Amino acid sequence: MTARLTRTLSRWSPTPDRLGGALLEILREGQRRGFLGPGPVEHTFDHALGFAGAADAPGRAVDLGSGAGVPGLVLALAWPESLWSLVDASARRCAFLGEAIVALGLDARVDVVEARAEVVGRDPGHRGGYDLVVARGFGPPAAVAECAAPLLRLGGAVVVSDPPGGDASRWPAAGLAVLGLEPDGMVRAGAAYQRLRQVELCGERYPRRSGVPAKRPLFRST
Ligand SMILES: C[S@@+](CC[C@H](N)C(=O)[O-])C[C@H]1O[C@@H](n2cnc3c(N)ncnc32)[C@H](O)[C@@H]1O
């Protein structure tokens, strides 16, 4: 168990070691099932927790392409007042996430949404309803931005992990402006986390049909 994990959980759980152990075991199981990349899950936990250093605690947040629950599950534990939607198109990953939230006692404030993000962005129950969108390994910048923007309220934020080192030129202001987004700085804390801000509500034409944001990106990253 990492000291950081215990510290994070002890802010709200009377049994941080037990809860932290359960979380790490869930991530290991996710890895065994192929829902999470290789490497020590403690590092994955640290990387996920890094998102919290790049955003204010949200009321309502969404994790796009949550996979085995990264970073959504970690952030739901770190921000005990927050409500979450973990969105993933894969039925197997969503079944796994459903079991994970029950095991962690998060089922009262975390929902699993089995759907394409492009479909969720057109659902009135989700559109414009979030303070924060997070994404890790979801797709290229233009696809992340086009799937995230429709979900955000005015003033809401996106935090997305960037490849090691980070490169702000992957997030061009002119391309983001089409979606009502603007770059809001990059946080470097071990890893790199790009921040975007929803400065105008996203236009009705976005997101485009499933698959189109990745196939015909609104902007190219240099
Ligand atoms: C590379 S994995 C990353 C998973 C997790 N965020 C992580 O960091 O380990 C990408 C995930 O996004 C999901 N995904 C990809 N495109 C999607 C879309 N358009 N809508 C919903 N889920 C999507 C996949 O099913 C997969 O679980």
pLDDT at 15 over 80: no
Ligand 1 centroid – CA 137 distance (Å) = 7
pLDDT at 96 over 70: yes
Q: In what order do the strands lie in the sheet with 60-64?
A: 110-114, 83-88, 60-64, 130-135, 152-162, 191-198, 181-189
- Percent of the chain whose predicted confidence (pLDDT) is above 90: 86
Cα distances from 125 to residues 13, 50, 113, 118, 152, in angstroms, run 30, 28, 12, 14, 12
Which residue's CA is the closest to the ligand 1 atom numbered 3? Answer: 137
| Mean pLDDT over each residue of the chain, to the nearest integer | 94
Q: What is the pLDDT of residues 124-136, one digit of tens each?
A: 999 999 999 999 9
pLDDT band at 1; cut points 50, 70, 90: low
Ligand 1 centroid – CA 75 distance (Å) = 17
Atom number of ligand 1 nearest to Cα 88: 22
pLDDT band at 213; cut points 50, 70, 90: very high
The answer, yes or no, to whether any atom of ligand 1 lies below 6 A from the CB of 131, is no
pLDDT band at 2; cut points 50, 70, 90: low
Phi, psi (deg, nearest 5) at residue 58: -90, 160
Ligand 1 centroid – CA 138 distance (Å) = 5
Domains of the chain with bracketed CATH? 3-215 (3.40.50.150)
Q: What is the pLDDT of residues 152-184, one digit of tens each?
A: 999 999 999 998 888 889 999 999 999 999 999
pLDDT at 16 over 90: no
Closest CA to 113 of 147, 162, 156: 147
Specify the pLDDT at position 185.
96
Ligand 1 centroid – CA 15 distance (Å) = 31
Specify the pLDDT at position 165.
84
Report the distance separating Cα 189 and Cα 140, nearest Å: 21
